[in-house]
Each structure stands twice: as structure tokens, then as C-alpha cells.
A and B are shown apart, each in its own frame.
Chain A
């Protein structure tokens, strides 16, 4: 999978997300941020109208942003629908799969169970914030070289979780990698190659 395919700013200029972004996703953003839930389970409009919005100032991938949101909105939905950072994936939306993993103040957390109001005045890093310009993060590079993915849906969460894991302290054994990465589920079952990638990347990460 080309890492630019889904980031809305592919060098080709016609990335999948930028096509979607002008239509459906943009239309979704307004009811989402006032209703607090995806369209399929949107709160009744009358109820939503009574909700007092909260202002959240947060630094995302080094850039300060301010959003006015319904206090029910998660960090995940804010990243994807308001800030158009769709690298972070919504898998289960129940804290069970790890696809939505991001870093808050340098710690790996689940953005689906984090209300965005609680990251006010904090720093968020998403998969879009890992590379330095055109130079991929060593973990991203290792996932490519080790083929640590098939469908790729869990991959941003796997990579963010793996970077967090190494920053907490390198793993000494493959079993330790498996244990410390157990919060990230891969339905394609690429686990052996994911372990290989992390073992490689932690040698070059500082």
C-alpha cells in the first residue's frame, strides 16, 4: 500500500481521500460535530441542539488547532472528520482493536475512547506526523521492508503502537513484542511480519 493513498494530500493530487473529502466527508463533518456520533447512530437533532459546545485547543502533529465540538465527540472522530487526518482508522470504535492508536503527550492511547475535550492543551501525534518530510519513520520503513501488512487497515494503529512500545523501552524478545503489542489486532494475521518489522525498527530508533 502506498502510504500516500489515504492521506488526502498524495503527490499525484488525486488521492482517494481528496476526492471523498470534497463531498461526503465534508457533509458529514457538520452533523457529526454537533451530534456527536456518526450519521448511522446520530443523536436526535432536538437533543443535539441543547448541547453546549466546548472549545478545545490542541497541538496535532506539531500544529496548534482549535475546535469547537460537542462534548461527546471522540478524538478519533475529530481527527478524521474535522481535521481530515484519516490515517487514523476507526475499527471497532469500542477500544478493542487498536486501529485508532495515536500518541497523546507521547503516550500511545486509543483515540476512540478519548473524548477530544480531554486533550485540551495537550499534544497529539498521528500516523501523519511520524515522517520527517519525505523521510519515513524507521517503523514505517520497517513495515514496508518486512511486508508487515496485507489490507493495511490496522497498519497506522500498529505503527503508532509499535513506536510507542519502543519509546517505552525496547523489547528484549519476540515474545515480549507480541505481549506488548497485543492491543493491536490484525485481521489479516500479519503478526509474524509485524514482529519482524518492530525488531528491525527498534535497532535504529532512538
Chain B
């Protein structure tokens, strides 16, 4: 691991002072320490932010507010989250392992880096790690890689389950920097790789996630997160579906849907949402609505199964949700 200067500030202002392109903020460390050991991430300064007051899981008229330093396990166990936003608790509990969930923060989860094996291997070209060096996954082992939002420069998936659920629910992310605070929809917080896959979001150098707000809605309480993977536990998604529905009797008044494991960012599916609005919850409706879910997909040599798996994942999630009413 490369040498870095290390500070443990107690206040946000202190933490942000002098923070820039060479700075890494350390919370749970489950991504950062791992990638520093691999020489994939080599900050000159590490700021331990665990003493900052970015805590709290509260529910009010506006929705659910979660401080960036809350741990995955604590959010998953929160009574309000489990009752009013079940897919958030499910996405968290289907992530990583119990030890990692006890460590990893919500802010860090949203910023975790891809699990593309070439990104993690400094001996191979990777545009995300080393801009301009090329993409090894395009012609390499790419079974787990993305089919949506890809470019010739990068086909890496975004690994977070939580982010998929949060994007489906229209979550806002609150950012703080030396220049002040701003709020950005999580969906547009993430950027597509294009020709600059090393840039994954709109976070500016030295800017920090302070927390998130998940709005109140008529659908969040009727939601499910379904994750399909190579083994039953402790594995990243091949595909996943975050589905929330507002019901009117047996009819879908409106739905909110996003997919994971398939996109270079959490993948909202507005066309599927529109196709479901006002429709009865039947198998035929589900099949028809998801038929276009993978339109525009660019499967790679090893992941041609993903478009069909995505459609089936969505149908099953909708079916599970309809049957649980």
C-alpha cells in the first residue's frame, strides 16, 4: 500500500479543508482499504470521516433520511425502513456478508467501485483505473458485465444493490463541500462511462456525501428487491429487480422499477413503469410490460443470457409482489 497522510477530523468543515483530487474519505473501508491494498486506488491523503456527525435514520413528512455514515446493517434493521421501505432492507440484506454490512456505510455503498476483475488487476489494461489504457473486458472474461449503458471504453457494472432500490424510489443524495451543500437525484448522480469511465458520478473533488432522502410515496411500502446470482448468498447480482407498486384494488396504479447487474449504473426502467400503469396484475401484463426492458442492450461474448434473465427477473419480482398483497 502506498504511503498517505492520515487525519481523523471531528467536524465536517475540518474534514473538507484542503480535500481535493488526491483525497480519499474513509468510512467503513470495505472498498477503500481493499483497493488501496491492490494499488488500484492510491490517495495521497486519507481522511477518516467516522467521527463526523453524519448519522441518523429518521422518518418525517418528507420521507426517510439516512446519514451517510449509518451502517448497512443498522439501516436494514431499522423498523421504519422495514415497514415503509421493505425493498431497501431487502437490498441491504442481500448484499455482501454480515461482517461487511456491519462495517460498510451508506455513503460508501453508493460509491463502491465495480467488481470487474480487470479493474482490480493492475497488470491489465482498464480505462476506469488507467484512462486510455483500453478495456480488457470487452474481449475478455465478461460474463458478469453490463449490457446496458456500456461504451467501447467500459462495460463494468455498478455493483450496489442498495443503489438500485434507491434509484427506483427517486432518492435524493445530499452533497457537501467547501463551497457549500447541494442535492442531486441519485439517478443523475451516476454518469454513464462514455469515453470517461474513470468518472462515475458528479461528485466533485473534495466533495462528500452527507446523506440521502428517500421520498414518501404510495408505492415504497409495497416493494420487493429480487436478486439473481451464481450462488445463493454472498455474491454480486447477475441481474436484480427493484419493484414498487401503488395498487388500486387488483390494478397497478403506478409502478417504480429499476434493475441491477445489467447496467453501468443502476438502471431505471421508465418504459416498463409506463407499460404497467393502469393495468391489471396478470402474468400476461407482466410479460408484455417487460418485453422491451432490455431494448438497446449490447450483450458481450459471455453474457448473452442477460437480456432474457433480466426480463424473467422482472416478471418474477412483479409476480412475488402481486402474490404478497
Report which A residues bind B (CB closer than 8 A).
36-37, 43, 47-48, 50-52, 54, 71-72, 74, 93-95, 98, 101, 107-110, 113-115, 117-118, 120, 161, 164-165, 168, 178-184
Contact = CB atoms under 8 A, between A and B. Distances in A.
22 contacts: A43-B3, A47-B3, A50-B3, A71-B5, A72-B4, A94-B34, A95-B30, A98-B97, A98-B99, A107-B102, A110-B103, A113-B33, A114-B29, A115-B29, A118-B48, A165-B98, A180-B98, A182-B232, A182-B233, A182-B234, A183-B97, A184-B97
B98 A94 contact: no
Nearest to B36: A72
Contacts of A179: 232-233
Contacts of B48: 115, 117-118
Nearest to A185: B234
B202 interface: no
Nearest to A93: B37
A120 B8 CA distance: 10
Nearest to A102: B99
A161 B98 contact: yes
Contact of A108 (B4, B99, B234): B99
Interface in B271-324: none
Contacts of B98: 108, 161, 164-165, 168, 180-183
A93 B33 CA distance: 10
B59 interface: no
A147 B3 CA distance: 44
Contacts, number: 92
Interface in B195-240: 232-234
A51 B50 contact: no
Nearest to A112: B33
A48 B3 contact: yes
B1 interface: yes
Interface in B1-52: 1-6, 8, 26, 29-30, 33-34, 36-38, 46, 48, 50
A37 B99 CA distance: 23
A102 B8 CA distance: 23
A104 B33 CA distance: 17
Nearest to B102: A107
Contacts of A48: 3
B57 interface: no
Contacts of B184: none
B142 to A, nearest CB: 21
B184 to A, nearest CB: 28
B3 A118 contact: no
Nearest to B29: A113
B96 interface: yes
Nearest to A49: B3
Contacts of A37: 1, 37
Given A182-B234, A183-B96, A183-B98, A113 B34 contact: yes
Contacts of A184: 97
Given A115-B26, A164-B98, A182-B97, A94 B37 contact: yes
A183 B234 contact: yes
Nearest to B103: A109
A54 B5 CA distance: 10
B50 A118 contact: yes
A116 to B, nearest CB: 11
Contacts of A168: 98
Given A94-B37, A108-B99, A168-B98, A113 B30 contact: yes
A120 B6 CA distance: 13
A193 B170 CA distance: 45
B138 interface: no
A41 B1 CA distance: 8
A25 B48 CA distance: 30
Nearest to A106: B102
B29 A183 contact: no
Given A47-B2, A107-B102, 16 more contacts: A43-B3, A93-B37, A94-B38, A95-B34, A98-B97, A109-B103, A113-B30, A113-B34, A113-B100, A113-B103, A114-B103, A117-B8, A118-B26, A168-B98, A182-B98, A183-B234
A121 to B, nearest CB: 10
Contacts of A93: 37
Nearest to B77: A168
Contacts of B102: 107-109, 164
A72 B1 contact: yes
Nearest to B1: A72
A184 B100 CA distance: 11
A146 to B, nearest CB: 21
